Amino acid sequence: MPGYKSIDRIQTVTASTFDRLVLKGEGPIVVEFMSYGCAHCGVIEPDLQQVAEIVESTEKFFRVNIAVDRELSEQYEIQGTPTLIMFLNGAELGREEGPSPDVSNILAVVRQPYES
Amino acid sequence: MQIRLQSAPILLFNDECGVCRSIAHWVKKQVQAQSGTASIVVRPIGQDPEELRALNQGLNIWDAYATIHLLMPDGSMKLGGEAVAEVLRHLPSTRWFTWTFAVSVFGIRPFQAILNLAYVILADVRPVFGCESCGTPSLWVRPIRWMVNWVASLFGKSHHPSPHFTSLPASGRPPQAQNI
């Protein structure tokens, strides 16, 4: 499938690293709750990689694979995939379920909570 | 990175899709019915991109979920209808008719083309048969999907407003990766 780059700009976090990397992480942090078997996640992946590259200097991007880390999915009451949650200093500022696969839209979604 | 050498082709299947699991289960049963060494190894795609790359360096996990992949012992990969044809060639109950897929008329392989089309149709209709993780159905399948959703809504099953979203099962559990 075209669009998938070899460089992965989104680091995978697990239940054991979530606390350290996300909750205790500095600055704006975006976490995508996803699954590789979710076709919608596959569709937004190239756009998400692009957005992660654009906001690299200000926001960190992580992914949680809910097929592997179920506790995190239940803890954050994930209803489906993909779900983006925007964190700041460990607190959830906003979330978006099923964003449109479009760079400008995703960019607006991940920036909006930090602007208000 | 070390590449594992396999003597038999590896059929990767989407373990989050009921239709795919059923087909993989059928293939596995056919393989087990054979005596001697397994002619095909059937395994779920799983959730580890690195593990897949260890099987074939050119294999991307997103691609693996998007289309059926058969990893050949020589390091090549067969996709879609070509993968299905190759699987059928390796099964004792189906190999008798697989010579038809090689028949060429004016450079076109009609039986292979029919198989390719059948694969595309099956892949398209999977969401209707309960594979919500398979994504947004193709245009021609959408009316069927809308009808199914409408009937479901009559029984009180709500649907997420975003068309780019895969709802988790009602139990609240993520789609479960299963081995067959």
Q: Is residue B119 part of a domain?
A: no
The string of pLDDT tens digits covering residues A95-106 is 999 999 999 999
Q: Is residue A5 part of a domain?
A: no
* Partner-chain residue, chosen from B134, B173, B176, that has the shortest CB–CB distance to A39: B134
Q: Is residue A6 part of a domain?
A: no
Helix count and strand count (H, E) for chain B: 6, 5
* Partner-chain residue, chosen from B62, B172, B174, that has the shortest CB–CB distance to A1: B62
A75 in B contact zone (CB under 8 Å): no
Q: State the smallest CA–CA distance between residue A3 and chain B in angstroms.
A: 11
Q: Is residue B125 part of a domain?
A: no
Q: Is residue A1 part of a domain?
A: no
B17 in A contact zone (CB under 8 Å): yes
| Separation between Cα atoms, residue A34 and residue A36, nearest integer Å | 7
Complex ipTM:
0.82
Q: Are A85 and A31 in contact (CB under 8 A)?
A: yes
Q: Is residue B159 part of a domain?
A: no
Tell me which residue range forms the domain holding A15: 11-115
Tell me which residue range forms the domain holding B32: 10-96
Q: Is residue A95 part of a domain?
A: yes
The string of pLDDT tens digits covering residues B41-85 is 999 999 999 999 999 999 999 999 989 999 999 999 999 999 999
| Separation between Cα atoms, residue B47 and residue B44, nearest integer Å | 9
Q: Is residue A97 part of a domain?
A: yes
Is A25 part of the annotated catalytic residue set?
no
- pTM attached to this predicted model: 0.79
- How far separated are the first and last CA of chain A, in Å rounded? 37
Q: Is residue A3 part of a domain?
A: no
